[in-house]
Amino acid sequence: MVIVMLIIIIIGAFDIFLLMLNTHFRGAFKPYIDAVLSIIWVVTVVSSFIIYNWKYGLLFILGSFLWGAIIMPISAKIAKRILNH
């Protein structure tokens, strides 16, 4: 059960990183990428509610917003580096 929780957390953290990174890009496929990444995030949240109880689900949502706030400046630097090359 702990391994499943770690997998959900890793998938959610990577998904949020990609969402934050995608906010700095533009292009024709940006809305589609945002939609797919948002669906993946919703699936991880719902799975944390289903597999574990509501406390872990709320903790996952709170952690997602905190991780997004922490990772936003880092993703901005990475996007700037990607776009300059």
What digits encode the pLDDT tens for the residues 20-71?
999 999 889 999 999 999 999 999 999 999 988 888 889 999 999 999 999 9
Token couple for 77 = 């630097």
Instruction: Specify the pTM.
Output: 0.88
Token couple for 17 = 């990183």
Greatest Cα pair distance, the chain, in angstroms, is 45
Phi-psi region of 27 (alpha: psi -120 to 50; beta: other; left: phi over 0): left
pLDDT at residue 75, as a whole number: 95
Contact assessment for residue 82 and residue 22, using Cβ atoms and an 8 Å cutoff:
no
Answer positive or negative: Cα dihedral of 26, 30, 34, 40: negative
Helix %, strand %, coil % of the chain (to 5): 85, 0, 15
